[in-house]
Amino acid sequence: MSLFRPSTVGAFRLKHRVVFNPPLLGWSESQLVSYFDELDIDGGLVLAPKALTTATKLTQELVINRVHGQEGVVFAQVSRNLVDIGHGLLDLISAVKNALSIGYDGVELEFDCSSSIKDNSLVTSSSGSAVSAVIMAIQVISSQVAMDRVGIKLQPYGIAKGGYGDFHSHLIQAIRGQFPSLCFFHIVAHQQFDDFEYPSNKSLYPLTVSMTRRENQDNITFISEDAYDHENANTTAFRTSYLVAFGLLSQANPNLVGMLRDKKVLRLAPSTEKRLEDINNTLQTGKEYIVDWTSQQESRIHQAMQDLDKYLTDLNPSLSYEGTDKKVVWRKSCWLASEGIARPFLDSEKDIAAFDGDYDDGLTGLEALRDARVRESAEYLKSVLDSALVTTSKAVGIEAEMLQRCTVRYRVVKYTPHAGSPGGIGLHPDGNLLSALITNGPGLRVYDLDGTVRQPGHTGTIMMGGSTLYRWSQGRYPPTFHDVDISGSEVKVSIVAFFNFPDKVRIPQSLVLSQNQDKGFFHDIRRIKEDDKLPSGELSALWDVIIERHRLVLPPGIMA
């Protein structure tokens, strides 16, 4: 079935199956009006984000009239947390009434279950389960608007423990049984980061089965959103009856429909293109790149780091990595593992045993995840780190398929002086592909190849290239040489994501054309880490530059 075949959705007839779901985060009202003036809707469905539904009534009416002028349909997105949903029903009713009075054609309801789901069930103070809470809310809304003008938005996958796919499958079945004339289910499968949407790599089949199980209930439309580009959007439309939604790409491409018709590559936002260029240029010099945070992110990160600090305080200090300079330094630490970006933390001893990391520290990390507050904070920090890793990976040319195969290990560290020696870590480059670091204080020192020593700030995510990136790129991206020094009464807490290729695998080298191109790069993390320490290893020339230009005096026998 073609992406541009007309489709009936609830009470509406659409000219094509492209759905516009632009996030428009932080946009001013003038920017909103300009965007919708440019947007080529061509009889499609628009899902109005919070940035629009909280704008002035005049701005909303201007946009709605613009959509209707192009024979389009526009639904207002209304989101509410399921905790104590009973006390929020009046507010929900008011939001729905207000949207309809302004002129929206319908409403898309989203109920946040994440903070209350435990073992795929949810208990609130006002009802027995998440399912009954949602059903109750929809029942109340059905008295205000016909069900063929109501959609339900669900986000079943993500970084939080285990995802909620099973729960949402059950929820969809329950809603279908109660409200067979519902307009649509909108399933957002991807993880939305700052610059990119990251696909879930999970099959939506269990959810679609939930929707098609009843033969007499086949009129509810399924809207699928999973970081689509022009190719997989057309593939999805051809293989299924789904409508296909676009988020960030619909924001960056106001002429989305025309570009999809012409099978053109969709553009990134100009700000994203500029950031990719800046990252690429910076990492080519061996320096770190800082991914800035919003004020909202900074506040949440500060609280999350305090939660990690409290957990680490009770751990025993241990010797930190001594580095090439053989420095005696201390830390308290543990680590958490994940199969990849946007995937949950692994939470079994068998899982962590497969990772390249100290096993005891991995067990300590498992213990940390049993604390609900620590887990929630670690998951939030993971989302920030993962976002920076995706952007940086794109900047240095890691292909999308390979990006999804990479693994991530997260070390949580409290650098603290002990036994008369400072806290910190010795001079070294990381042995992995990329490192993403969040820290709450000074102490990190970067040793540039030009002889400069700098101390990056701590109000952004610090990105550094590792020795694996240097090898894979055939020298284009030198690793970032750095150490940490914490003395006196200073304390510093950090969480660093070590991002790496799958181990014992040959990795294509698409960055640099060479006679060895066809052979690729064989990734062996243990060999790389051992070679990093050798006087005659692949990093020896870089170490010679660092030692000479920083006038370092290393212990006898080092880099001889």
- Report the C-alpha gap between 247 and 388 in whole angstroms: 19
Residue with tokens 């992995």: 432
pLDDT value at residue 84:
55
Same domain assignment for residues 359 and 224: no
Dmax over Cα atoms in the chain, in whole Å? 81
- Report the C-alpha gap between 109 and 95 in whole angstroms: 10
Residue with tokens 């190719």: 231
Same domain assignment for residues 251 and 281: no
Same domain assignment for residues 329 and 395: yes
> In 285-398, which residue ranges form alpha helices assigned H by DSSP?
295-313, 349-353, 359-369, 372-395
Same domain assignment for residues 350 and 212: no
What are the b/e assignments for 41-54, b being 16+ CB within 10 Å? Answer: bbbbbbbbbebbbe
| 3-class secondary structure, 9 | strand
Write the CB contacts of 452 (distance below 8 Å, at least 6 apart in sequence): none
Same domain assignment for residues 150 and 226: yes
Tally Cβ neighbours within 10 Å of residue 92.
21
Task: Look at residues 478, 513, 272 and name the one whose alpha carbon lies nearest to residue 395.
Answer: 272
Please identify, among 209, 240, 268, the residue that sits at the C-terminal boundary of a domain.
268
DSSP notation for 199-238: ------HHHHHHHHSSTT---SEEEEESS--HHHHHHHHH
| 3-class secondary structure, 322 | coil
pLDDT value at residue 535:
76
Tally Cβ neighbours within 10 Å of residue 317.
17
In a domain, 1, yes or no: no
Please identify, among 249, 268, 287, the residue that sits at the C-terminal boundary of a domain.
268
In a domain, 192, yes or no: yes
Q: Are strands 121-122 and 117-118 parallel, antiparallel or unpaired?
A: antiparallel
Same domain assignment for residues 84 and 213: yes
In a domain, 559, yes or no: no
In a domain, 558, yes or no: no
Same domain assignment for residues 192 and 159: yes
- Report the C-alpha gap between 545 and 508 in whole angstroms: 29
- Residues linked to residue 421 through DSSP beta bridges, in sequence order: 418
Same domain assignment for residues 86 and 234: yes
Same domain assignment for residues 375 and 352: yes
Q: H or E stretch including 70?
A: none
Residue with tokens 């309801």: 109
In a domain, 428, yes or no: yes
List, run by run, the mean pLDDT of 10-residue segments along the chain (560 residues): 91 97 96 97 98 97 98 95 66 94 97 56 47 88 95 85 68 90 94 93 67 57 93 90 95 96 93 97 98 95 97 91 76 92 90 83 94 95 98 96 93 90 90 97 95 93 98 96 88 95 86 55 90 88 94 66
Same domain assignment for residues 263 and 285: no
Task: Look at residues 73, 129, 132 and name the one whose alpha carbon lies nearest to residue 104.
Answer: 73
pLDDT value at residue 511:
55
What domain range is 531 assigned to? 275-549
Write the CB contacts of 212 (distance below 8 Å, at least 6 apart in sequence): 218
Same domain assignment for residues 408 and 473: yes
pLDDT value at residue 339:
84
In a domain, 212, yes or no: yes
pLDDT value at residue 540:
94
pLDDT value at residue 216:
45
Give the number of domains in the chain: 2
Q: Are strands 184-188 and 221-225 parallel, antiparallel or unpaired?
A: parallel
State the CATH number of the domain containing residue 100.
3.20.20.70
State the CATH number of the domain containing residue 433.
2.60.120.330
Same domain assignment for residues 466 and 374: yes
